[in-house]
Amino acid sequence: MASSQVNSALQEIQAAPVGDKPVRYTQLIQQITESSKNLSADLNAYTRTLLDDNLGVVVLRPLVSNFVEHFRNIKDPEMKIEVGEHVIALLQTKGVGQYEEQDTLIKEAVADACEETEDWRKSARVLGSINLESTQRSLTSDDKAKVWIRIVRCYLEEDDPTSALTHLNKVKNIIYNVQDKETRIHFQVSQARIHDSQRNFLDAAKAYYALSLESMVEEDGRVQALSSSIVCAVLSPAGPPRSKMLATLYKDDRASSVEHFSILEKMFFDRLIPPHETKAFAETLQPHQLARTADGSTVLDQAVLQHNLVGASKLYSNIGFDQLGELLGIDAEKAEDYAAKMFEQGRLSGYIDQIDRLIFFEGEGSGERKTGQSERVVGKELRKWDTNVQGLAEEVEKVTTMIQTQYPDFYAAQTVH
């Protein structure tokens, strides 16, 4: 409840001539912010009376702006949120279109206070209520992008990449018109984090790597981005696109100084990764990067298993189901299933002989998914058969030519029907 002194002062102002009110309102807000012992209650009473007074927009708007200046200097974030939400509601009933600039400043200050208390979702909601399609104010692409990027970052702090992506897509529509370099950097960071959170690890690796090359980012930030790129590349599904990303990272001179260089090197050279190294790497990952898949394994487990399967293809031209399962640390049926999926998805080239329980490797795949039996990659034996048939046909053709040359009459007699 507001103090008696403030209530009395407000009653006196209401009874005063219209011409005296602006000065008296200005003096009272100064007194409240300097000496009030119940600041939130007094400010709420002040704004309620001010906005209920029968003052014209021309007189009232400067008084609201003056209040905003004092309001933004409140130190206590909880108090700022309480008072700010009260004023926002009052402006809504008053007709916020006349006070859009003041409404925006209050909402930005409330969002700041929400972030101080780590209430990221509320901050995003408050920022989302700002009118960015105003006819009263001229807003540039930079103005809009800054608000949307801030909302994106709040949702990412709440681990809500879906909501973050909704607002990031708004930024995508105008990012080429944004001039502020810091905003563009925040856009890149947000894009990388969303890909990462949604487990689109290859896209995340590319986005983090691009960020690691930005000269505007501080050195520590670039190194962190490079490290994140390596992590995401390791977690990506095995195949030609990841191999290309691994090559880019490995050839970067800075990579050797990053914590995860050892596992990057093994992946780049298709060396088998032992369980103890996988476990040590897993301890550095974030929770979403350790999420379990439908078969109960983690994303890392699958990534390493697929990598080791590619590594095995470099060591063997063919291998039995049981032997491959033992090499990968899984049962034979699961080893066959993983190999079949990688062949089908074009991430590895080869075929499976289920009768003899053998897997034949023929190198890396094209990266293109196979959609039908006719597109299946055939084995070396079939290609050899085709070559032999072609060779036999060519030899027959040579013999026929020789007969025609040396015994033309005989050849003509044989070809007459």
Average pLDDT over residues 45-65: 89
Does position 385 have pLDDT exceeding 50, yes or no? yes
Does position 33 have pLDDT exceeding 50, yes or no? yes
CA distances from 26 to 36, 65, 163, 238, 363 (A): 15, 11, 41, 67, 79
- Span of 145-149, 218-222, 277-281, 343-347 with lowest mean pLDDT: 343-347
Query: With the C-alpha atoms ordered 185, 187, 190, 195, is the resulting torsion angle positive or negative?
Result: negative
Q: Which of 130, 151, 166 is the endpoint of a domain?
A: 130
Q: Which of 106, 130, 154 is the endpoint of a domain?
A: 130
Mind listing the pLDDT tens digit for each residue in 302-345? Answer: 888 888 888 888 888 888 888 888 888 788 888 888 888 888 87
The helix or strand, by DSSP H or E, that contains position 234, with its residue range, turns out to be helix 219-235
- pLDDT for position 408: 80
In a domain, 64, yes or no: yes
Average pLDDT over residues 253-272: 89
More reliable by pLDDT, 386 or 360: 360
- pLDDT for position 376: 44
Confidence of residue 384 (pLDDT cuts 50, 70, 90): low
Average pLDDT over residues 252-273: 89
- pLDDT for position 1: 60
CA distance 408 to 43: 117
In a domain, 80, yes or no: yes
Decide: helix, strand or coil at residue 72.
coil
Largest CA distance in the chain: 133
Place of tokens 């990598």: 307
Given phi > 0 = left and psi -120 to 50 = alpha, else beta, which region is 55? Answer: beta
The pair of structure tokens assigned to 269 is 């050279």
What is the CA angle 67-70-76, rounded to 5?
A: 125
In a domain, 36, yes or no: yes
Confidence of residue 390 (pLDDT cuts 50, 70, 90): confident
Pick from 148, 197, 194: which is nearest to 170 by CA? Answer: 148
Domain count, the chain: 2
Average pLDDT over residues 21-26: 91
- pLDDT for position 124: 96
Does position 368 have pLDDT exceeding 90, yes or no? no
Contacts of 143-150 spanning 24+ positions with Cβ under 8 A:
144/170, 144/174, 145/171, 145/174, 145/175, 145/178, 145/180, 145/183, 145/187, 146/180, 146/183, 149/183, 149/186, 149/187, 149/190, 150/111
- pLDDT for position 80: 94
Residues 6+ apart with CB under 8 A from 230: 205, 249, 255, 258, 260, 261, 264
Mind listing the pLDDT tens digit for each residue in 105-155? Answer: 999 999 999 999 999 999 999 999 998 887 677 889 999 999 999 999 999
- pLDDT for position 411: 72
* Centroid of chain to Cα 16: 58
Question: Do 377 and 350 form a contact (C-beta atoms < 8 A)?
Answer: yes
Domain range holding 391? 379-417
Confidence of residue 182 (pLDDT cuts 50, 70, 90): very high
Q: Which of 103, 130, 157 is the endpoint of a domain?
A: 130
In a domain, 207, yes or no: no
Does position 355 have pLDDT exceeding 90, yes or no? no
CA distance 215 to 68: 38
Average pLDDT over residues 378-389: 66
Count of residues making up the chain: 417
- pLDDT for position 342: 83
The reported pTM is: 0.72
In a domain, 283, yes or no: no
What is the CA angle 120-202-121, rounded to 5?
A: 10
Q: Select the highest-mean-pLDDT range: 128-137, 288-297, 378-387.
A: 128-137
- pLDDT for position 175: 92
- pLDDT for position 222: 93
In a domain, 121, yes or no: yes
Angle (deg, nearest 10), helices 39-52 and 57-71 = 170
- pLDDT for position 380: 53
Average pLDDT over residues 244-249: 94
- pLDDT for position 372: 44
Q: Select the highest-mean-pLDDT range: 170-184, 271-285, 399-413.
A: 170-184
Residues 6+ apart with CB under 8 A from 363: 313, 349
In a domain, 76, yes or no: yes
Residues 6+ apart with CB under 8 A from 379: 350, 351, 360, 362
Does position 374 have pLDDT exceeding 60, yes or no? no
The helix or strand, by DSSP H or E, that contains position 353, with its residue range, turns out to be strand 350-353
Decide: helix, strand or coil at residue 361.
strand
Pick from 52, 49, 56, 1: which is nearest to 25 by CA? Answer: 49
Q: At residue 396, what is the residue type?
A: V
The pair of structure tokens assigned to 155 is 């949702």
In a domain, 290, yes or no: no
Average pLDDT over residues 48-70: 90
Average pLDDT over residues 180-204: 93
- pLDDT for position 68: 93
- pLDDT for position 417: 52
Q: Parallel, antiparallel, or unpaired for β 350-353 and 358-361?
A: antiparallel
Average pLDDT of the chain? Answer: 86
